[in-house]
Amino acid sequence: MNGLRSVIQKVVHVHVHGYGCVRLRYTAPMRPRTRFALAAQLSAALSLLACKKPEPPPPAPAPQAAPSPAPAAQPAAAESPFTPEAEKAAAGITAEPIRANIEKLASDAFEGRGPSTAGDQATRAYLIEQLKALGLTPGNGDSWEQPFDILGVTTQAPKTWSFQQGKKKLDLKLWDQFIASSGVQAEQGAVKDAELVFVGYGIEAPEYKWDDFKGTDVKGKLLVMLNNDPDWDPALFAGNTRLYYGRWTYKYEQAARHGAAGAIIIHTTPSAGYPFSVVQSSWTGEQFELPADPNEPRVQLKGWVTEDAAKSLVALAGKQLDELVKSARQPDFKPVPLGITTSLAWKNKLQRTSTANVLGVLTGSGDPARSEVVIYTAHHDHLGVGKPDKNGDKIYNGALDNATGVAEVLAIARAFKALPQPPARSTMFLFVAAEEQGLLGSRYFAAHPTVPAGRIAANINYDGGNIWGRTRDVTYVGKGKSSLDALVDTIAARQGRMVKPDQFPDRGHFYRSDQFSFARIGVPAIYLDTGTEFIGKPAEWGKQQIEDFEEHRYHQPSDELQASWNFEGLIEDVQLGFLAGYVIANAKELPAWVPGDEFEAARKSALASVK
C-alpha cells in the first residue's frame, strides 16, 4: 500500500460495539474506486471520538512502496473526514523541509539549545520567523512567546561522598559512582548525620494495595530507593508498563512528602531505560527549575548511584543488594534501616533567568468551534554545552531529540496552511521550552494555558522521530487510555500499518514527555513514536537501532544529523499526526479518557469549568 495515495485493501465494516465504540473488521479486497464509497462508514467510526472503550487495532498488510501524493481526482463523500484537500495537504509533507529544519536547529551555531542561552534565543527567533512565514497568528495575545522564569542551579558537589557504619567507611567517587544534585533553591545545601534507610520502591499506591512505608517515620533520613515500580506480575500495578510511580520525579517527590533529607536512586540500565552516562550528562552542570513554591516540600539532596556502588554501600551494613531487592518485591515489605550515616555539604551557584514557549495559531473556520483548539507540541530545547566527549565535542546538538520533533510540527503547520479552508476548531503549534529539565515549558503552559483546558480538544506531541525508514507499524504511547485510539488505528490502517502500544513499556515514556503535562489537566493526548517492524529488515533490527541510539547517542554530543537518516517512515508518522489533528478539529464530539483512567477526573473538571 503506497501510504496515503494507495487504496485501502480491505473493506471496512463499521458497527457499534457494546461499549459504544467502533470496531473495524476487514473482510474483503477493495478496489480504488471503492475507497471513497466507504467514506461515510469511516466517518461514522471517527465521529465516535468520545466512545467509552477503545478497541485494539486490526491487523494490516505490509506496505509495498514509499509514500507518494494522494490522487485528488476522485471526490470524497461529503461526510468523510478524509477530504481530498486534506489528503493533498498530507501528501505535500516531504523530507527536504524537515531535513533542512533539523540541520539548522541541530547545527553548532545553536549551541545545543540550552535554556536561557544564546542558542535558546536563536532557536526561539528562528521558530517565530518560521511561524510568521507560514502566515499563522501569535498564540499568546499579540505575542509569539509565552515567557516564564526559571532558576538555574549548579550544584558544586564534593569529589567524594563518605559513608560510615560503626568503624567502617566507604568513599564513593563523583561522576563514576554517584551524581548529586541539590534539591533546594538556595546557595548552600547539606545533609548532616543522616541515616540511610532502604525503602524499596518508595511507593504508596492504595489503589494497588501497595505501601512501602508502612507508617515508618523517615523524617531527616536519606532514603535509598529502587528505580521503576513493581513490574514482575501483571496483577501488580500495570505489569511491565511503567507508571508514574516508577519515575524518578515521583521518587524525589515521595521523599519530600515524608520529610526525608534526601533520596538516592539506584541506577540500573534495565530499570532506568538508559545507561548511567545519561544520568551523568543530564544531572550535572546547570539544572533549571521553575521557581519553587514556598509551601512545596523539597528534599535537600537528589542522588543517583550505580548498581555496583549500591552493592558496596549496602555491604557496609552487612547486607546484600540482591536480598534487599528480593524483599522489596513483597507486599509486606517494610523499610530497612541500614545503620549507615553520612554527611554531605555543597554550594550552589544560582541564576534567576527566563526562557519562553513559542506558539502560533491557525484560527478555526467554525463558530463557535474556533474557540476550541487542537494543540501540537514539540520541545525546542536540548542540553546546550556540557562535558566534552572522547572526541572533544562539547555541544549537545539534540538532532533527534528534539530538532526532529520541531521539524515535524513545522511540517504539520505547513500542511494545515495548505488547506483551502482551516478546520472548524483552531489549531495551535506550541514549541515548549526546557523539557529536558523536567517538562518545565509544558508544565508552565498547563498551569497558565492561553486557552482554558476545557477547550483544548487534544494534544498531539512529537518527541523524536523515525530516522531509519518505513515500518509496518507505528507506536502510539498512551494507547488504551482514550477514545483517540480508534482514530489513530483507522488512519494507520489507511497507510497499511498497524498501531502498537509503547514497545518499550518499561521505560515509562508516557510520563517522560510533554503530553503528560496536558494529561494532568485532563487533555487527551496522542504521542506517536517509531515503530519497530522495518520493511526489508530482520525482525529485531528496529529495536536494535533504537537501543543503539539510546546507548551511544541519547543525550550525548553525538546526537547529530547524519547523511544516512531515512525520512520515509517519519513522513508517514507526520502525515498520520496531521490527519488525526484535522479530524479532531472537525469532529462533533471532543475526545475523552477511558472511564476510570487516571486523568478522567481532571477532564471532567476542565469541561465543567467552561460550561
pLDDT for 353-396, tens place per residue?
999 999 999 999 999 999 999 999 999 999 999 999 999 999 99
The rounded radius of gyration (Å) of the Cα atoms in the chain is 25
Is residue 58 scored above 80 in pLDDT? no
Is residue 420 scored above 80 in pLDDT? yes
Task: Out of 24-28, 382-386, 555-559, pick the least confident.
Answer: 24-28
For a pLDDT cut of 90, what percent of the chain falls above it?
A: 82
pLDDT for 421-476, tens place per residue?
999 999 999 999 999 999 999 999 999 999 999 999 999 999 999 999 999 999 99
User: How many whole angstroms from its chain centre is CA 483?
Assistant: 19
What is the spatial distance between Cα 2 and Cα 564, in angstroms, rounded to a whole number?
A: 23
What is the spatial distance between Cα 242 and Cα 251, in angstroms, rounded to a whole number?
A: 13
What's the confidence (pLDDT) of residue 448? 98
Q: Write out the three cell numbers for 140.
A: 499568546
pLDDT for 209-218, tens place per residue?
999 999 999 9
Candidates 176, 101, 113; CA nearest to 385 is 113
pLDDT for 464-520, tens place per residue?
999 999 999 999 999 999 999 999 999 999 999 999 999 988 888 899 999 999 999
pLDDT for 159-171, tens place per residue?
999 999 999 999 9
- Report residue 235's pLDDT band, with 50, 70 and 90 as the boundaries: confident
What is the spatial distance between Cα 241 and Cα 244, in angstroms, rounded to a whole number?
A: 10
Mean pLDDT, range 1-25, rounded to an integer: 34
Under DSSP, is residue 341 helix (H, G, I), strand (E, B) or coil?
strand
Is residue 177 scored above 90 in pLDDT? yes
Mean pLDDT for the chain overall? 88
Candidates 282, 512, 304; CA nearest to 383 is 282
User: How many whole angstroms from its chain centre is CA 541?
Assistant: 23
For a pLDDT cut of 70, what percent of the chain falls above it?
A: 87
Is residue 77 scored above 80 in pLDDT? no
What is the spatial distance between Cα 248 and Cα 242, in angstroms, rounded to a whole number?
A: 11
- Report residue 19's pLDDT band, with 50, 70 and 90 as the boundaries: very low
The 3-state secondary structure of 347-390 reads EEEEEEEEEEEEEEEECCCCCCHHHCEEEEEEECCCCEECCCCC
Is residue 72 scored above 80 in pLDDT? no
Is residue 407 scored above 70 in pLDDT? yes
Mean pLDDT, range 579-598, rounded to an integer: 97
What's the confidence (pLDDT) of residue 82? 82
Range(s) within the chain of domains with CATH label 3.40.630.10: 12-143+363-609
How far is the CA of 479 from the CAs of 124, 295, 485, 503, 594, in angstroms? 32, 36, 6, 11, 11
Candidates 350, 354, 286; CA nearest to 124 is 354
Mean pLDDT, range 228-247, rounded to an integer: 90
* CATH of region 153-350: 3.50.30.30
What's the confidence (pLDDT) of residue 357? 98
What is the spatial distance between Cα 284 and Cα 286, in angstroms, rounded to a whole number?
A: 7
What's the confidence (pLDDT) of residue 80? 57
- Report residue 141's pLDDT band, with 50, 70 and 90 as the boundaries: very high
Under DSSP, is residue 395 helix (H, G, I), strand (E, B) or coil?
strand
Q: Model's pTM, two decimal places?
A: 0.83
Complete DSSP assignment for 191-241: EEEEEEEE-TT--EEGGGTEESSTT---TT-EEEEESS---S-TTSTTTTS
Range(s) within the chain of domains with CATH label 3.50.30.30: 153-350
Q: Write out the three cell numbers for 375.
A: 494543540
pLDDT for 260-295, tens place per residue?
999 999 999 988 888 999 999 889 999 999 999 989
Bridge partners, residue 145, by sequence:
358
What does the longest C-alpha to C-alpha distance in the chain come to? 84
pLDDT for 180-223, tens place per residue?
999 999 999 999 999 999 999 999 999 999 999 999 999 999 99
Cα angle, residue 264 at apex, residues 263 and 266 outer, rounded to 5°: 140
- Report residue 22's pLDDT band, with 50, 70 and 90 as the boundaries: very low
* 6 conformational bin, left if phi > 0, alpha if psi -120 to 50, beta if neither: beta
Strand 12-16 relative to strand 210-211: parallel, antiparallel, unpaired? unpaired
What's the confidence (pLDDT) of residue 107? 98
- Report residue 33's pLDDT band, with 50, 70 and 90 as the boundaries: very low
Bridge partners, residue 303, by sequence:
180, 264
Helices (H), 8-141: 39-47, 84-91, 95-105, 118-133
What's the confidence (pLDDT) of residue 455? 98
* CATH of region 12-143+363-609: 3.40.630.10
Q: Could you check whether the bond before residue 459 is cis, i.e. omega within 30 degrees of 0?
A: no
Candidates 511, 516, 531, 509; CA nearest to 576 is 531
Count CA atoms closer than 13 A to 453's CA, side-chain side: 26
How far is the CA of 483 from the CAs of 55, 83, 128, 509, in angstroms? 9, 22, 33, 19
The 3-state secondary structure of 106-172 reads CCHHHHHHCCCCHHHHHHHHHHHHHHHHCCCEECECCECEEEEEEEEEEEECCCEEEEEECCEEEEE
Task: Out of 46-55, 103-112, 300-309, 341-350, pick the least confident.
Answer: 46-55
